[in-house]
Amino acid sequence: MEIPEGPHRRRRQNVWQKMPKGMKMAIGVCLVLVAVSIATGNRVIEWSQNRFAAKPEPPKKPKINPGKAFDQVAAAIQPFDMELSGTKLNPVTRRIEGTITNKSDRAYTDIEMIFALPSRDLSAQDQTIVIVDRLGPRSRAKFISDVLPKDVHQWALIRTSAKPAR
């Protein structure tokens, strides 16, 4: 007995069977990568970042507030008992002349004042030192420097130091 020919039943294919082989391979690779990533946690990412580390950024300089900077410097300066007044460059004698005042109740000896003597174009600098031997408490003394070079037209006080008298 023969089976009459009729419409053949086709077997249905599911989505997986209809998918091309290349797509199936790509999905398999992705699943393997996800499984490895879950199993290792962040170790693979950290290893990769360490292996191909970018150049570190230089640290940013903190912004400085000029007012606060001045206050910090001024607070660090110890009060000094000496004060200069009337200090000027005498153009006739070519000397620095002025008065130093002791504002404290102590006497001082070997009072040393160091003056900077920049050239007119500020490219070179010389200096001169003026020494006052002794200055009593709450007293004043006039001082005069040595003769300055002819090209000096300005001065600046660098430092003043003194030793307390015994």
Which residue range forms the structural domain that includes residue 28? 15-51
Considering the domain boundaries, does residue 91 fall inside one?
Answer: yes
The values of phi and psi at residue 39, to 5°, are: -70, -35
- The pTM of this model reads 0.52
Helix ranges (DSSP H) in 41-146: 43-51, 66-76
Q: Are residues 87 and 160 in the same domain?
A: yes
DSSP 8-state symbol, 94: T
Where does the pLDDT of residue 141 fall: very low under 50, low under 70, confident under 90, or very high at 90 and above?
Answer: very high
CATH number, residue 107: 2.60.40
**Sequence letter at residue 96:** I
**In this predicted model, what pLDDT tens digit does every residue of 56-114 receive, in sequence order?**
777 777 777 777 776 776 666 566 788 889 999 999 999 999 999 999 888 989 999 99
Q: Are residues 47 and 93 in the same domain?
A: no
Q: Are residues 36 and 90 in the same domain?
A: no
What separation in angstroms does the CA of 108 have from each of 68, 78, 79, 99?
Answer: 34, 17, 15, 15
